[in-house]
Structure 1
Amino acid sequence: MTAKIIPFDYEGQPVRFNADGWLHATEIAERFDKRPNDWLSLPSTIEYLEALNRRTVTGLSGNAWSMTKRGGKNQGTWLHPRLAVAFARWLSVDFSVWCDEQIDALLRGESKPWASARREAAIGHKAVCDAIALNCEAQGKTAKPHHFINEARLINQVITGSFAGRDRNQLNAAELELVTLAELRDTALIGTGMVYAERKVNLLRYVRELQSKHQRRIAA
């Protein structure tokens, strides 16, 4: 295991992949009171490995889809990205969806740790809240909870089209980055005194530009 180890965060717990998308299966399985070897020994897993071998030019043996590192902080069983999601589904359906997103980001070169993206989004949210409070204060008013809630929903609306809350712990690093950029833009717009309706139009245009650039980068 020579590739760089990249830590992610799933529901407050670290999950490790390497830069090639291999999952540290032993580490995460322990949190579900399971073992990788139990999954690897299942008839359905063996059948899946046989199918993979038939369809893979390199003709890897079953053991080549997993590897065990002994000694050191990265010891344990690691699974190839072609197996990681199937293994994650055995552990938890929700975890498998999250795992698929992280592997996709890694293989696309978007390897920013989730925990870092989550912290940045939290900072962006705090900046928006501070801007709202200062704006209300300048008008001789006191900011109310609904001011902060509606602004957070505005950010979600210009990104998803839905004026509703989102559980940020369920967003991947790329989604969190988009939220952060929108929040920072919103903070600047509030500082200029721009009214809500105008901010919505401006933010919507800004987010569409960011999403368009992202799609062009993927297609390149």
Structure 2
Amino acid sequence: MSSATNIIPFEYQGQSVRFSTDGWINATEAARRFGKRPVDWLKQEETQEYIRTLAEAMGMTKVTQNHFGLVRTSRGGKAPGTWLHPKLGVRFAQWLDMRFSVWCDAQIDNLIHGDQDDWQHLRDSAAIGYQGMCDALNLTRQAQGKQSAPHHFINEARLINGVLYGEFKGRDRTDMDRTELRLIGMLEQRNTFLLGQGLDYQQRKQALTEYVDEHLRPRLSGGAA
């Protein structure tokens, strides 16, 4: 997993589990939900033998401190923790929970075979939607003889987050799963339409809240990734 690799969050039973776009799993994050630690699995003799055998089969003969390069640790940035190679991820997940391991196997398979493209497409679409919303806001303010400042656009993003999550503050979209990105994009399009109708902030807030409660809340609470 290189530093340039994107991180994609998936939701398992209401909690986020992060993978890289090339199938590595954040083992620290995954283990925490089960009250376990990756280090306890890695130091088991059976695990060490499995890693040696796997490394040999993959042509990795150089012994390193990070288990032949199959285990990597990040102590900072947006993705801290112990990360496991996709060929170790399912084996590790089996140690945590059998149902979780089956779910992990499916996510890793999807990532390796291109499912990350769907997440990136939704991320890009949300970014385009945000720009369109900002353009609509700017045009609306210009028509009213007002100038736009950066905080006006920030407030629109916080409005979207507020009606969806109940907190009117910024959120890092790289930590959102596919369901969240899809809903964010739908709300941005709705808000752009409301701006075009000339609704003020409070009117748009009320209209967006009603729209979320009627159409989007079930999707978000359903946890579909």
TM-score calculated relative to the size of structure 1? 0.56
How many aligned positions are there? 162
Q: Which amino acid aligns with 2:161?
A: N
Q: Is the 8 A contact 1:121 1:176 kept in 2?
A: yes
| C-alpha deviation, 1:136, in angstroms | 0.9
Pairing 1:9–2:15 present:
no
State the AA in 2 paired with 1:79: L
**CA separation of 1:174 and 1:140: change in aligned 2, threshold 3 A:** same
- Aligned equivalents of 2:148, 2:181: Cα separation in 1: 26
9 and 217 in structure 1: CA distance in 2 versus 1, 3 angstrom threshold: closer
Q: Residues 199 and 216 of structure 1: is their aligned pair in 2 closer, same or farther, counting only changes over 3 Å?
A: same
Amino acid at match of 2:92: L
Cα distance per residue 1:44-68 (max 9 Å; x no partner) = 3364978xxxxxxxxxxx859x967
Structure 2: 5+ residue stretches without partners? 9-18, 27-37, 60-69, 71-84
Contact persistence 2:133–2:192 (CA under 8 A): yes
Cα deviation 1:132-154 (Å, max 9, x = unaligned): 01101111222122211111111
For the pair 1:45 / 2:54, whether they are aligned, the reply is: no
Residue identity matched to 2:211: Y
- 1:211 aligns to 2:217 (yes or no): yes
Structure-2 residue corresponding to 1:139: 144
8 Å CA contact retained: 2:140, 2:196? yes
Report if the CA contact (8 A) 2:179-2:219 is conserved: no
Residue 79 of structure 1 pairs with residue 88 of structure 2: yes
Cα distance in 2 for residues equivalent to 1:186 and 1:154: 9
Within 1, Cα distance between the matches of 2:163 and 2:93? 33
* 1:190 aligned partner: 195
The whole-number CA distance in structure 2 between the counterparts of 1:85 and 1:177 is: 31
Question: What is residue 133 of structure 2 aligned with on the other side?
Answer: 128
Q: Is the 8 A contact 2:41 2:92 kept in 1?
A: no
Q: CA deviation at 1:155?
A: 0.7
- Deviation digits for residues 161-206 of structure 1, max 9, x if unmatched? 1111112222223222221111111111111111211111111122
Cα distance in structure 2, aligned partners of 1:171 and 1:85: 26
Q: Kindly tell me: are residues 63 and 205 of structure 1, through their superposed partners in 2, closer, same or farther at Cα, counting changes over 3 Å?
A: farther
- The structure showing larger relative contact order (alpha-carbon pairs under 8 Å, at least 6 residues apart) is 2
- Specify the code of the residue in structure 1 equivalent to 2:42: T
Q: 1:188 is matched by which residue type in structure 2?
A: F
Change (3 A) 1:195 1:134: same
The change in CA–CA distance for 1:193 and 1:48 in structure 2 (over 3 A counts) is: farther
| Amino acid paired to 2:122 | A
Task: State the partner residue of 2:166.
Answer: 161
